[in-house]
Structure 1
Amino acid sequence: MSAPPLIHPVARLPAARWAARTQFFCSGFIFATWGVHIPTVKAHYGIDEAVLGLAMLAAGAGALLGLARAGRWIGRHGANRIAGAAGCCYALLLALLLAMPGYAALLALLAVFGLLTSVFDVAINTEAAAIELAEGVPRMSGMHGMFSLGGMAGASSGAALLAAGWPPFTHLAVVAGAMALAIGVAATRMLPASHTASASADGGGGLRDAGGPLLVLGLLAALGLVAEGAMYDWSVLYLQQELGSPQQQAALAYASFSAAMAAARFGGDALRARVPSTRLLAGSALLAAASMTVGLLTHSPWVALAAFAGVGLGFANVVPLLFAAAARVPGVEPARGIAAVSAAAYLGFMAGPPVIGLIAGASSLTHALSVVVLFALALAMSAPLAARGAAR
């Protein structure tokens, strides 16, 4: 049976646009809260970097399961329903991070956390693609800017509340409740289920669609997201452990990275209109590599914070650029292409932090974070492949 024609109710688009922005903001806020409390989790369960990296690997395994099913679930139920259900549960799990009876239970929790994270992210990216297509105006960079803004807000507020003496469990519980409420309300304003369901018909947007040009674009996005995920999960611990910063100052590592990324993403759509995509992608990756090198060589926490902001500027538009290229792949529905590349790229996002943890356990966190430099350089050299993938 052929899919029903897509209907774009103009009156609903402004509300849907802001609902999607809210969902991206909440996703960033939740992830930042987890990032701020990685040292807390490490201390609470008495584990080292290698064991913490394995816990993150459990989240990656859960994400793999989610990615294998996300396209099918969205195709069947629509992005609005999946985003609402997965996002609310994802938020509420924050409250349990310090409540597990032991390390084994923490592994199980993080596996479910990873599954819900990946499903939620694919759903909101599919929604963003549908809105961009309906309006005929670039929106993807701005949507991802809201994720970064949420990350900045989550990290900054977390640092402030820790400095004010808030107990970590209280902070996690308050954020969990507030984010679940915001996600649930926003889901009611998203596009109708029939719209995004048909855009991802027959389970489209999953890993099995990531073949040919989409596989190339997904692998390039994975390069950027390995490095981005490493910054989210390890930058706070780097400042605290390697440079001796107190936790409230260390939390600013995530905030500086996310703030710079948000600023660059909000201007990213206009920049994409002026600079060829290949040149913009290569230049962005080189900026990230140079900034991260400075951050790893300095002994000053404040210089490191500035360097991490440079990394954020560099990586800001990598994913929006590649998603835009996925929307132009001949013979592939734009929303389906974006969902597929999102799914493939998410592997990098989830794989990066555990790899960093394992390397850090064998040597040092400084050496482990050199992976960010290497992957940024690889992305810069591979930038022409993005244009080729979209032109095939």
Structure 2
Amino acid sequence: MTSVVGASRALRAQFFVLGVMFATWGVHVPTVKGHYGLGEQALAIAMLASGVGALLALAQAGRVVGRWGPRAVSAAMGVLCCASVACLLAWPAYAALLAVMLVFGVTGSLLDVAINTEATEIERLAARPLMSGFHGMFSLGGMAGASLGSAAPALGLSPQAHLLVATGLGAAVVLVASRAMLPVPEHNAEEKHPLSLPRGPLLLLGVLASMGLIAEGAMYDWSVLFMKQERASSPSTAALAYASFSGAMAAGRFGGDWVRSRVSPARLMRASGALAAAGMTLALAVPSPWVALLGFAGVGLGLSNVVPVLFSAASQAPGVSPAHGIAAVSGVGYLGMMAGPPLIGLIAEHASLAAGLLVVVMFAVFMAVSARRAMRA
């Protein structure tokens, strides 16, 4: 039987690959914008297509993971997620980009629920906090993916070549790692009903997740473009925006399990929102690319333990399976996150991207203020 230690290593690899895929998309946002000749609003609609795909997938995520198990779902969705990122620049038509982003949203969200369901099972068997460490691998993958994207021009890799290298390696790792994952017991994995709008504690957790995911998604989707357009950075320096954010988030998550064992969830969520708001304010207020990188690192450190705390809480909700609890909170989170890219893009179209990113500050403050009430419930 697959050992818990081996399964933990395999799961860390899966989180790492998902982080690399998000980073690979993030560093190529300016490339995609130029390839298709898009304005900020059209680019935001493409990001919205990903959010729509994620929400559609999450409506059945509990049932799919319960029926096939995290191992099979992560293998299939991981490969398809990598393939969708590989196809970002494959065609010239905007409609093709929308279709690719829709597939990216569907496969990425199903992979996310599958590996988080596996993470809750491993955490249960180990009887100690592990979720932040798993999510730290996602952030480490984001940092690695962004760093590779930054180095790609110096290595002589074209954007399409970089996409093929990153996604090819990612798909190979997913297939190998999925073989070592644990089979989740039936009483944990079974889900008889599709996702519906959660109520009570799950809804409150979902609202907080939406605040955190909007802020986190803004960093994935807009930070590189902000550095290039608002701070006149070179492509290599602009790619470091994602790397600084992901690196700080990884550091926060690798220490997060230690922090979670000593700090209450409500206090941790309040501090997280305050630090994220301060970091984003610094990045927007000081017209220096290096100060912006420092600010993005502050946002990453602030948001580092928001999702692990919320997903751990959702997986323990009474009366539902871990997969359903995680999918329910993720669904509300993605529903809120869907409004983020168009809102930021609309503001950027009529004012500036810096003005659009003020949304991150507002949502982080809201998260800090509402954390105590939500976590108490």
TM-score normalised by the chain length of structure 1: 0.92
Contact kept, 8 Å, 1:288 with 1:311, in 2: the verdict is yes
Q: Which blocks of at least 5 consecutive residues in structure 2 are unaligned?
A: none
Equivalent residue of 1:208, what SS? coil
Q: Residue type of the partner of 1:180?
A: A
1:181 counterpart = 2:172: yes
1:35 counterpart = 2:23: no
Higher mean displacement: 350-359 or 38-47: 350-359
Structure 1 residues 203 and 227: CA distance shift in structure 2, 3 A: farther
Distance in 1 (alpha carbons) for counterparts of 2:70 and 2:307: 20
Q: Give CA deviations for 1:42-92 in whole Å, capped at 9, x if unaligned.
A: 001111111100111111111121111211111111111111101101101
| Residue aligning to 1:3 | none
Output aligned runs, 1:127-146, within 5 Å: 127-146=118-137
Q: Residue type of the partner of 1:110?
A: M
| Residue aligning to 1:162 | 153
Give the C-alpha shift of residue 336 in structure 1.
4.0
Structure 1 residues 74 and 375: CA distance shift in structure 2, 3 A: same
Output aligned runs, 1:94-113, within 5 Å: 94-113=85-104
Distance in 2 (alpha carbons) for counterparts of 1:124 and 1:334: 11
| Residue aligning to 2:330 | 342
CA-based RMSD of the aligned residues comes to 1.6
Give the C-alpha shift of residue 367 in structure 1.
0.6
| Residue aligning to 1:260 | 248
Contact kept, 8 Å, 2:213 with 2:333, in 1: the verdict is yes
Q: Residue type of the partner of 2:94?
A: Y
Structure 1 residues 354 and 337: CA distance shift in structure 2, 3 A: same
Distance in 2 (alpha carbons) for counterparts of 1:315 and 1:22: 21
| Residue aligning to 2:222 | 234
Contact kept, 8 Å, 2:75 with 2:174, in 1: the verdict is yes
Equivalent residue of 1:265, what SS? helix
Q: Residue type of the partner of 1:202?
A: E
Contact kept, 8 Å, 2:270 with 2:371, in 1: the verdict is yes
Contact kept, 8 Å, 2:82 with 2:170, in 1: the verdict is yes
Give the C-alpha shift of residue 384 in structure 1.
1.0
Distance in 1 (alpha carbons) for counterparts of 2:231 and 2:214: 23
Distance in 2 (alpha carbons) for counterparts of 1:197 and 1:245: 52
Give the C-alpha shift of residue 368 in structure 1.
0.4
Q: Residue type of the partner of 2:7?
A: A
| Residue aligning to 2:68 | 77
Contact kept, 8 Å, 1:277 with 1:321, in 2: the verdict is yes
Q: Give CA deviations for 1:89-129 in whole Å, capped at 9, x if unaligned.
A: 11012221111131111111111111111111111111111
Q: Residue type of the partner of 1:201?
A: E
Q: Residue type of the partner of 1:273?
A: S
Match of 1:66 among 47, 57, 61: 57
Distance in 2 (alpha carbons) for counterparts of 1:335 and 1:66: 13
Output aligned runs, 1:1-392, within 5 Å: 12-192=3-183, 195=184, 198-203=187-192, 207-208=195-196, 210-334=198-322, 336-389=324-377
Structure 1 residues 69 and 374: CA distance shift in structure 2, 3 A: same
Higher mean displacement: 280-289 or 56-65: 56-65
Give the C-alpha shift of residue 341 in structure 1.
1.9
Equivalent residue of 1:28, what SS? helix
Contact kept, 8 Å, 2:61 with 2:324, in 1: the verdict is no
Distance in 2 (alpha carbons) for counterparts of 1:73 and 1:225: 23
TM-score normalised by the chain length of structure 2: 0.96
Structure 1 residues 253 and 187: CA distance shift in structure 2, 3 A: same
Give the C-alpha shift of residue 247 in structure 1.
0.8
Distance in 1 (alpha carbons) for counterparts of 2:336 and 2:15: 19
Distance in 1 (alpha carbons) for counterparts of 2:339 and 2:148: 27
Distance in 2 (alpha carbons) for counterparts of 1:231 and 1:273: 28
Contact kept, 8 Å, 2:66 with 2:323, in 1: the verdict is no
Equivalent residue of 1:162, what SS? coil
- Structure 1 residue runs of 4+, over 6 Å off? none
Equivalent residue of 2:191, what SS? helix
Give the C-alpha shift of residue 358 in structure 1.
2.3
Total equivalences in the alignment: 377
Contact kept, 8 Å, 1:80 with 1:123, in 2: the verdict is yes
Give the C-alpha shift of residue 337 in structure 1.
2.5
Distance in 2 (alpha carbons) for counterparts of 1:262 and 1:346: 22
Give the C-alpha shift of residue 311 in structure 1.
0.6
Q: Residue type of the partner of 1:232?
A: Y
Q: Which blocks of at least 5 consecutive residues in structure 1 are unaligned?
A: 1-8
Amino-acid identity (%): 56
